[in-house]
Amino acid sequence: MSGGEVVGIIFALSFAVLVLFLGFPLVKLAKLIDESARTISTVNKELEPMLQEARVTLGEANRQLKRIDSITEDVEQVTENINSLVAVFTASVGAPLTKLFGVTKGLLSVIGKRR
């Protein structure tokens, strides 16, 4: 065996060891990628029903909000009607009471001056 052959064998062995050292991480990386793909597939399968439930829930929430909006409008109308009723009552009863109070006060002041 000549020196060149020994160097060639050493180089070949070194290259084989290098390939082995690089091969193990590549195999582990391939397993990691496969496991990630399975995990993503599982998440996708579970995500679809959750999204469907979310759509149903949001639809129901929107329907309930529309009902609440309708109820709020009705309450607003009732409040306006009550305010109008109070204003009419105050105008119809308050003005005569004010006049009656004025007449009573005048009479009391006249009676008070006579004493």
Domain edges within the chain: 1-81
Specify the pTM. 0.46
DSSP string, 38-86: HHHHHHHHHHHHHHHHHHHHHHHHHHHHHHHHHHHHHHHHHHHHHHHHH
pLDDT in tens, 35-89: 999 999 999 999 999 999 999 999 999 999 999 999 999 999 999 999 999 888 8
User: Looking at residue 2, what is its pLDDT?
Assistant: 84
